[in-house]
Amino acid sequence: MTVRRAVILVGGKATRLLPLTCNTPKAMVPILNTPFLEYAIGYLRQHGIDEVVLAQSHLPVPIRDYFGDGSRFGLRISYAIEETPLGTAGAVRNAERYLGSAGEDCLVLNGDIFSDINITDMIDFHLSRRAKVTIALTPVDDPTSYGLVETDAGSRVTRFLEKPSRDQITTNMINAGTYLLNAEILTHIPQDTSYSFERELFPSLLGRGEAVYAYPSRGYFVDIGTPAKYLGLHHDLLNGESSLWAPTAKTDVGQHSCIHPSVRINRTKGAVLIGDNCSIAADVQLTGPVAIGAGSTIAEGAVLEESVLWQNVRVGPRAIIRKSVVANDSTLNAGCIIEDSLLSDHVTVRQGARIEPGSRIWSGETAG
């Protein structure tokens, strides 16, 4: 027996990433010019998963339009839509009809986790212990914002502690948002009710003496739910810190892109990725880590440092963008300066404008 099915939770509103997620679901936020969810689906396929259920609520249409039935990605994709948000466990119960017969195990992933946890090894661990639930754990420097999971010497879970104070910390191993469940566990989740794995189901199972185990992992792990972590993930990937993506060169250039010979590229802090059909004009300065989305144009003398541009962004002459994210179809006019800011899609920044650090500019706005 092995595990063939997975549920990915992609229903959240991603409020911490606003305004980038005004019109883009978090699962479709680009990571190095590829939708975030595509990495998870490709990784599952590598580990033998051939059926994926996407548990959806907020902005479901862009995800379905992109992934379809999954055949383009080498597996089958189904969609379980929630009329109202059902929480992490409730969303999986809502997907139960896609998960096979009782007794079959399935994998569950939080849809905002970028990780290269060894899924095959985790499945072997789970099955060998006849576990009802196995929870992947990962170490963090500061566990106070997470859920701690305490275990005994045999890796069986003994206690859960959500967002502990510093004097409560007994371990730095936290819930990594990746679970293996026996399908019969779903009967413990109320139907059509908001219900949480972390705060309700798992503590309840532990209280009943069910076999709940923890799988410790030292693999790469990041929750992309904040702008700092989103940019940090780009930094890490462009420095080759995860097995899921590694730069093939210090500068990767997509098809049909034109880079003027005078462009200066500083790769000291990270690589530079340029998507398809881009145009980078004379005397542009690019200081990595930088990702530039397909169809973008960078005019002469512009400066781009440690930033991420999505698709079809137009950067005017001598504009400066530092440590910022600019979403699709935005226009940054000549001489503007943008630092430590988030710009949603279809934003226009006026010529010569200086955007205050920490700004968040919403979809369709004109700034400056």
In tens, the pLDDT along 233-277 reads 999 999 888 877 766 666 789 999 999 999 999 999 889 999 999
Q: What is the rounded average pLDDT of the residues 94-104?
A: 82
pLDDT value for 101: 66
Residue 349 amino acid letter: V
Q: Spell out the domain ranges in the chain.
A: 5-228, 248-367
Which helix (H) or strand (E) covers residue 207, if one does?
helix 202-207
pLDDT value for 13: 87
Give me the CATH topology for the region 5-228. Spore Coat Polysaccharide Biosynthesis Protein SpsA; Chain A (3.90.550)
pTM: 0.93
Greater model confidence, 49 or 140: 49
The residues, ordered by sequence, that sit 6+ positions from 348 with a Cβ below 8 Å of its Cβ are: 330, 331, 333, 365, 366, 367
* CATH code of the region 248-367: 2.160.10.10
Cβ atoms of residues 143 and 172 within 8 Å: yes
Q: What is the rounded average pLDDT of the residues 114-130?
A: 95
Q: Is 255 exposed, middle or buried (0-12, 13-18, 19+ CB in 10 A)?
A: exposed
Q: What is the rounded average pLDDT of the residues 183-207?
A: 92
Which helix (H) or strand (E) covers residue 134, if one does?
strand 133-139
Indicate the Cα dihedral angle 188, 192, 196, 199, nearest 10°: -70
Looking at every residue in the chain, the average pLDDT score rounds to 93
